[in-house]
Structure 1
Amino acid sequence: MSPNKRIAVWMSEKKIQKVNWQELETVCGNYGFEVFKLCLKSSLESQGPFCVLVHKMTDIIASANLGDVRCIAILQDVERYISQNPTLIVIDPIPNVRKIIDRYSCYSIIHSTNLCTYEVFTPNFCTLETNDVETIKHQLRIAHVTYPFLCKPLLGHGSRKAHQICIIFNERSLIDISTPCVAQSFINHDASLFKIYVAGDKHCMVERPSLKNYQASDRETIYFDSSDVSKAGSKSRLSVLDPEDVVERREPDEKIINLIATTLRKAFGMDLFGVDVVIEKSTGKYAIIDVNAYPGYDGFPNFYEALLECISKKMSTDLT
């Protein structure tokens, strides 16, 4: 097999176990590629040459951001190899992945696009870095973050804690906030979440359960794991709508979904990512509440075909 036709794949053991490797090998073979599992414990030079690196190094990047010496060294080795092989296609570029896993950076990038002209927005947000309640009140007020609001860890990957979120309903509960975090206004959306999975210039959307509608109140802070609430088939009590909620079923507009996928692909400079979207109950506007690098792609038909088409197009572009 030609070295210009070798694809290196790196994922965590947990992620690789979910990959249908035989199917991936078959699809790669159909496109004339050989695929192999990259080992980050050995030198990349000894495993090369290869023309494409497909990776999910989000946890390594997140841990490196938090000062993990081992992960910093791994990233330095990978980035050095990439810089020494400028024709290598990397899906996705590590600097871009860094931006997407930092929730404040991610929301800021979304906010800077023109999606708002199509009534697509990201709810008001700010970073909270202190436990001083008066300072928190001021920061929330300046950023127009309203009650109730969600508190999310700054990094969207790296550990189980990345999915541990709380809902703050009132000023009295500001003492419950664990900083640093990102505070984001909660949007009522009738407990329906729409996940857009993007793979190159293709995308698909699946519906998942989500949080029920909440109002500002004197209730106690709610703590939950977002992956438990919104995974397929979840039966969380937090997703059960109150009897008084009248649900007006809204089917997402495919034109808007396509616009979100194409706009964010360009804004983030990435090919493999997922977008969590809800439709605001009171206005019908689309709210982007999170973006994830290399999601699970559950429900994405022929994902490996889409991945190989993306790779093939990138190689064709590089050759022209």
Structure 2
Amino acid sequence: MLSTKEPSRQVIGYWMSEKKSQKLNWSEFASVCKENGLELVKLDLNEPLEMQGPFTAILHKLTDIIALAMQGDAKATRMMENIESFLDAHPEVAVIDPLPNVRQLLDRSLSYSVIHSSDLGTIDVFTPTYVELTSSDVQENIATLSSAGVKFPFVCKPLVAHGSSNAHKFCYQMSIIFNEEGVSDCKPPCVAQTFINHNAVLYKIFSVGDDHYVVERPSLKNFYSCDQETIHFDSHDVSKADSTSALSILDPEDSIGDINMPDPEKFARIAEILNKELGMALLGIDVVLENGTNRYAIIDINAYPGYDGYPNFFGSLLSCIQKTIADHSSHLAEVSQEGNPDDSGFDTGYSSDEKKKNLLRGRVHKKTMLYGPGNTNCTSGS
């Protein structure tokens, strides 16, 4: 039975690591919420959530725990079962962001397939050719790369885009493979993505619901197919705001020439399309401009990023929470007014209550069903 809370106040259950809470200055956000009629309550995922609510919405950064559960960690699995059983029992609770959609984003191959199948191509935005490698056989992988159109050099990335704090270093460890000999350095399961030269400039789109902000970050310098040995690197060491990695220093022969300024409207459309396609509000989208063509390439997406450099992040997050709650309440009312969903006479296999829960919850995004784990060799134009 749920504990008693003041009915006039909207309660937001949240979970994130202590490190992220401190980084985002969460105590200050709690004050902002209180001023606007919201109460923040941190979830204890080791205890039943029924006694910790009731909640109007749940806001979370569960990527590390989800990733561990996907890898079979028993403790993480119990935590996820705890929160998912609560959400299944309470479809009236809004969630930022839906757990199946976050799982989809954690799988790089799956998330790239969403980009590839979206409307981004209509505005000349692409994701570089890629393929998932699952074999330890080098010759088999070389054939797979060739079939998928992945060219040298390519970036080899862990399949799971996030992971536990204990495995933090591994999760961001990537490699640049320059030739066939280097393919032996790939550690499956992983994703190989054709490297796009972009003069060491990365644009990170921080998306918060309907709002977004773009920051410029350092990135990898230009690389070319050659007999060079594999380079291993930590993506955080290269692309943080204050990074000073040697991998970000252009070689003398790489003359930048005329600099093409990015189009803010293009960034806005990218954020809008991916928010809709992924069914998520909190995203960090990594974009580079391809040398020569100036085409926009999306090379990675992250759930609930750090938002370093985002002005008035609390204001945008508050608006996002309020809009999510309002939209969810409106959807709840619409479903309630529909009455019996089986009036058509067809047997759907669901009771009225079960049907309503499915409609209200909206847990599984359409792309999760269209692109299952078995469809791993989707590619996109480079």
The normalised TM-score by structure 1 is 0.97
**1:253 offset after TM fit, Å?**
0.3
Q: Pick the aligned partner of 1:65 from 61, 66, 70.
A: 70
Q: Pick the aligned partner of 2:10 from 2, 5, 8.
A: 5
**1:280 offset after TM fit, Å?**
0.2
Gaps of 5+ in 2: 1-5, 331-382
* AA matched with 1:199: V
Does residue 231 of structure 1 match 2:236? Answer: no
Alignment of 1:212-231 (within 5 A): 212-231=221-240
Q: Deviations over 1:67-111 (max 9, x none)?
A: 111111110110000011111011000000000011001100010
**1:127 offset after TM fit, Å?**
0.5
Q: Could you tell which deviates more after superposition, 298-307 or 190-199?
A: 298-307
Does residue 314 of structure 1 match 2:317? Answer: no
SS at match of 2:215: strand
SS at match of 2:216: strand
Q: Pick the aligned partner of 2:150 from 129, 132, 145.
A: 145
Q: Pick the aligned partner of 2:19 from 14, 17, 27.
A: 14
**1:3 offset after TM fit, Å?**
6.7
Does residue 194 of structure 1 match 2:199? Answer: no
**1:313 offset after TM fit, Å?**
1.5
SS at match of 1:17: helix
* AA matched with 2:302: N
* AA matched with 1:101: L
Provide the residue aligned with 2:360 in structure 1.
Answer: none
**1:66 offset after TM fit, Å?**
0.6
The alignment-based identity, stated in percent, is 50
Q: Deviations over 1:211-265 (max 9, x none)?
A: 0000000001000000110001100000000011111322210111001000000
**1:41 offset after TM fit, Å?**
1.9
Provide the residue aligned with 2:312 in structure 1.
Answer: 302
**Counterparts of 1:58 and 1:216 in 2: how far apart (Å)?**
34
8 Å contact from structure 1 (residues 3, 49) kept in 2: no
Query: Bigger radius of gyration, 1 or 2?
Result: 2
8 Å contact from structure 1 (residues 4, 50) kept in 2: no
Q: Deviations over 1:261-304 (max 9, x none)?
A: 00000000000110000000121000000000000011111111
Q: Pick the aligned partner of 1:23 from 22, 28, 38.
A: 28
Q: Pick the aligned partner of 2:277 from 267, 275, 286.
A: 267
SS at match of 1:53: strand
**Counterparts of 1:175 and 1:79 in 2: how far apart (Å)?**
40
* AA matched with 2:239: S
Equivalent pairs counted in the alignment come to: 320
* AA matched with 2:17: S
Provide the residue aligned with 2:84 in structure 1.
Answer: 79
**Counterparts of 1:314 and 1:53 in 2: how far apart (Å)?**
10
Q: Could you tell which deviates more after superposition, 71-80 or 172-181?
A: 172-181
Q: Pick the aligned partner of 1:96 from 98, 101, 112.
A: 101
**Counterparts of 2:186 and 2:245 in 1: how far apart (Å)?**
23
Alignment of 1:101-116 (within 5 A): 101-116=106-121
SS at match of 2:232: strand
8 Å contact from structure 2 (residues 9, 37) kept in 1: no
Provide the residue aligned with 1:167 in structure 2.
Answer: 176
C-alpha RMSD of the superposition: 1.1
Q: Pick the aligned partner of 1:178 from 187, 197, 205.
A: 187
8 Å contact from structure 2 (residues 94, 328) kept in 1: no
Q: Pick the aligned partner of 1:293 from 284, 303, 322.
A: 303
**Counterparts of 1:318 and 1:273 in 2: how far apart (Å)?**
20
Alignment of 1:248-287 (within 5 A): 248-287=258-297
The change in CA–CA distance for 1:318 and 1:173 in structure 2 (over 3 A counts) is closer
SS at match of 2:221: coil
* AA matched with 1:129: T
**1:38 offset after TM fit, Å?**
1.4
8 Å contact from structure 1 (residues 4, 51) kept in 2: no
Higher relative contact order (CA 8 A, sep 6+): 2
**Counterparts of 1:240 and 1:310 in 2: how far apart (Å)?**
38
Gaps of 5+ in 1: none
**1:134 offset after TM fit, Å?**
1.6
**Counterparts of 2:225 and 2:27 in 1: how far apart (Å)?**
51
Q: Runs of at least 4 residues of structure 1 off by over 6 A? A: none
Q: Deviations over 1:182-229 (max 9, x none)?
A: 000000000000000000100000000000000000001000000110
**Counterparts of 1:279 and 1:246 in 2: how far apart (Å)?**
15
SS at match of 1:263: helix
* AA matched with 1:49: P
8 Å contact from structure 2 (residues 106, 161) kept in 1: yes
**Counterparts of 1:67 and 1:319 in 2: how far apart (Å)?**
35
